Chains A and B, each alone.
Chain A
């Protein structure tokens, strides 16, 4: 593992609470298994064989919001779906993060009309926006790594 060299004979490591908690949070971030539209297919591709997002500790997709930390809003959010998205977000336990995947979830994309919410940030607070229509799996993975970076630098006093 490598850790025993660092810990030495005593089996003790010294670190800050902030660091160890943030390390734990980033490396087992479980996304909610929840797809809306086209982007969900690319999200599936990101988790499948060629791109394999589990390399970043995200292999476990939870179908229940109660067991997930990360909500990937993959696709356009219609006015009928918006209350449901908010409801799902409210059901997730803290700490929780949101990635708006794709143009539609970020800003409405090509659909500027009565039916589509102009960005999911109107109903849930978004941490990372991923551009693209749909974003490539690499794009999503980059978004996830950006989020990890953000979480790793969170401060003790801002923990929710």
Chain B
């Protein structure tokens, strides 16, 4: 009876505080799901305790994508460390950049000009749509709706083309930098975004016509993975999961950053708290994000795209050819970096998955002393046992899809 193995080299005895007593006698079955499983959205491993086909307990095991980002960032300058955060939540690279930059700016006291703020808002909303598109595609795929995936990836390419236009990279742009953005957007940027705004609402209707009233989809999502508002708060869940349970909490409204208070948008909520509610919330969020994109594009102010604080921001390239001091200063900023005070700050943004926070501490030197990333996927995964209990194994797939995890985000 004690030779039942839960994970590789982990005896079931060691996990008995998480399993029911029936698992020890072999009465219920232990099933490993992942880390190589097409529906775990990466390398997540779930140990499921099954009574027939019903999930009795679920133990998530994460860390298969642990990258050591927090440790690695301690050995890099503030500017260099930024490339690491792109690759955390790889569906929300610009949002990660923004959060990190907000933390750096808060720590050293750096201002950001208006045009850069607007660009940041616009791009992080495009990133949100991009992330939700991958989500709608993959979670549709998990629930056997293949065509949504092909449709959603088509629109995603449009957004990636915009990112490539401004930064030269499709995904890991590192476009948002402390003090502003990397460089100004090209002239083709505005028409490309306008085209996207024109096309996208109709495309969104297409996805909805495939899923929202689809009987098969409803059967697989309604009443599945229900979580109450109180449980969400107890487990620190934020983002669409919390909003799907009826709490209108959005960081963009509650603690606005980058000038989100200037935009008109709604925070969609649903009360059911099931997979379907979270689906509805995300679809509506795409529509709201599109509204913000349009407003940002309309009000796009002219002016500098980077702070003029020369203590932290290198002089523009035009000065380097004519001024020796500017050249030296530029060189020193990029090789030695800038010092940050011996303080700790916490900055957070609303990522597509919930509250993404960066706790950043300086030590008087040019490198971060400690960076901690409060990532929403990590928190959401914690609620998996709660969400899956009493459901079929097949529904676990839908539930994982509905909390929209990114394992790079969870494991860091």
The answer to whether B157 and A110 touch across the interface, beta carbons within 8 angstroms, is no
Specify which of A33, A38, A78 is in contact with B63 (CB 8 Å cutoff). Answer: A78
Residues of A within 8 A of B150 (CB): 48-49
Most buried by B among A78, A83, A88, A136: A78
State which residues 66-87 of B face A: CB under 8 Å.
66-69, 71-72, 83-84, 87
State which residues 5-37 of A face B: CB under 8 Å.
33-37
For residue A105, CB closer than 8 A to chain B, the reply is: no
Question: With A and B bound together, what is the CA distance between A81 and B160 in angstroms?
Answer: 29
Question: With A and B bound together, what is the CA distance between A75 and B83 in angstroms?
Answer: 16
Per-residue CB contact flags for chain A residues 99-131 toward chain B (1 = under 8 Å, else 0) read: 000000000001111111000000000000000
The answer to whether B37 and A84 touch across the interface, beta carbons within 8 angstroms, is no
For residue A98, CB closer than 8 A to chain B, the reply is: no
Residue of B nearest to A112 (CB): B72
State which residues 40-68 of A face B: CB under 8 Å.
40-42, 44-45, 48-50, 63, 65
Question: With A and B bound together, what is the CA distance between A63 and B38 in angstroms?
Answer: 6
The answer to whether A49 and B153 touch across the interface, beta carbons within 8 angstroms, is yes
For residue B399, CB closer than 8 A to chain A, the reply is: no
Known: A111-B72, A114-B68, A133-B172. A45 touches B90 (CB 8 A): no
The answer to whether B153 and A44 touch across the interface, beta carbons within 8 angstroms, is yes
Specify which of A36, A83, A84, A133 is in contact with B42 (CB 8 Å cutoff). Answer: A36
Residues of B within 8 A of A143 (CB): none
Most buried by A among B38, B63, B83, B172: B38
For residue A80, CB closer than 8 A to chain B, the reply is: yes
State which residues 36-88 of B face A: CB under 8 Å.
36-38, 42-43, 63-69, 71-72, 83-84, 87
Question: With A and B bound together, what is the CA distance between A51 and B172 in angstroms?
Answer: 19
Question: With A and B bound together, what is the CA distance between A84 and B91 in angstroms?
Answer: 24
The answer to whether B154 and A111 touch across the interface, beta carbons within 8 angstroms, is no
Residue of B nearest to A136 (CB): B170
The answer to whether A115 and B87 touch across the interface, beta carbons within 8 angstroms, is no
Distance (Å) between the CB of B280 and the closest chain A CB? Answer: 24
Specify which of A50, A88, A110, A111 is in contact with B36 (CB 8 Å cutoff). Answer: A88
Question: With A and B bound together, what is the CA distance between A76 and B88 in angstroms?
Answer: 11
For residue B372, CB closer than 8 A to chain A, the reply is: no
For residue B134, CB closer than 8 A to chain A, the reply is: yes
The answer to whether B83 and A110 touch across the interface, beta carbons within 8 angstroms, is yes
Question: With A and B bound together, what is the CA distance between A16 and B153 in angstroms?
Answer: 42
Known: A36-B42, A37-B87, A45-B156. A84 touches B35 (CB 8 A): yes
Question: With A and B bound together, what is the CA distance between A68 and B308 in angstroms?
Answer: 56
- Give the tally of cross-chain contacts (CB within 8 A): 95
Per-residue CB contact flags for chain B residues 369-408 toward chain A (1 = under 8 Å, else 0) read: 0000000000000000000000000000000000000011
Residues of A within 8 A of B154 (CB): 48-50
Specify which of B63, B68, B149, B170 is in contact with A111 (CB 8 Å cutoff). Answer: B68
Residues of B within 8 A of A34 (CB): 36
Question: With A and B bound together, what is the CA distance between A133 and B169 in angstroms?
Answer: 9
* A interface residue count range (under 10 / 10 to 19 / 20 to 34 / 35 or more): 20 to 34
The answer to whether B156 and A37 touch across the interface, beta carbons within 8 angstroms, is no
Residues of B within 8 A of A81 (CB): 35, 43, 64-65
Residues of B within 8 A of A42 (CB): 170-171
Known: A48-B154, A49-B150, A88-B36. A111 touches B171 (CB 8 A): no
Residues of A within 8 A of B35 (CB): 81, 84
State which residues 111-160 of A face B: CB under 8 Å.
111-116, 133-134, 136
Distance (Å) between the CB of B157 and the closest chain A CB? Answer: 5
Distance (Å) between the CB of A54 and the closest chain B CB? Answer: 11
Question: With A and B bound together, what is the CA distance between A42 and B87 in angstroms?
Answer: 13
Residues of B within 8 A of A134 (CB): 170-172
Question: With A and B bound together, what is the CA distance between A16 and B390 in angstroms?
Answer: 59
Distance (Å) between the CB of B343 and the closest chain A CB? Answer: 26
Question: With A and B bound together, what is the CA distance between A115 and B65 in angstroms?
Answer: 9
Distance (Å) between the CB of B84 and the closest chain A CB? Answer: 7
Per-residue CB contact flags for chain B residues 131-164 toward chain A (1 = under 8 Å, else 0) read: 0001001100000000001110110110010000
State which residues 67-103 of A face B: CB under 8 Å.
75-76, 78, 80-81, 83-84, 88
The answer to whether A35 and B84 touch across the interface, beta carbons within 8 angstroms, is no
Known: A38-B171, A41-B90. A80 touches B149 (CB 8 A): no
The answer to whether A35 and B42 touch across the interface, beta carbons within 8 angstroms, is yes
Question: With A and B bound together, what is the CA distance between A22 and B68 in angstroms?
Answer: 42
Residue of B nearest to A46 (CB): B153
Residues of B within 8 A of A48 (CB): 137, 149-150, 153-154
Most buried by A among B43, B64, B153: B43
The answer to whether A41 and B134 touch across the interface, beta carbons within 8 angstroms, is yes
| Residues of chain A having any CB pair with chain B under 8 Å | 33-38, 40-42, 44-45, 48-50, 63, 65, 75-76, 78, 80-81, 83-84, 88, 110-116, 133-134, 136
Q: List 6 A-B contacts (CB under 8 A).
A: A44-B153, A45-B153, A75-B65, A76-B67, A78-B411, A134-B170
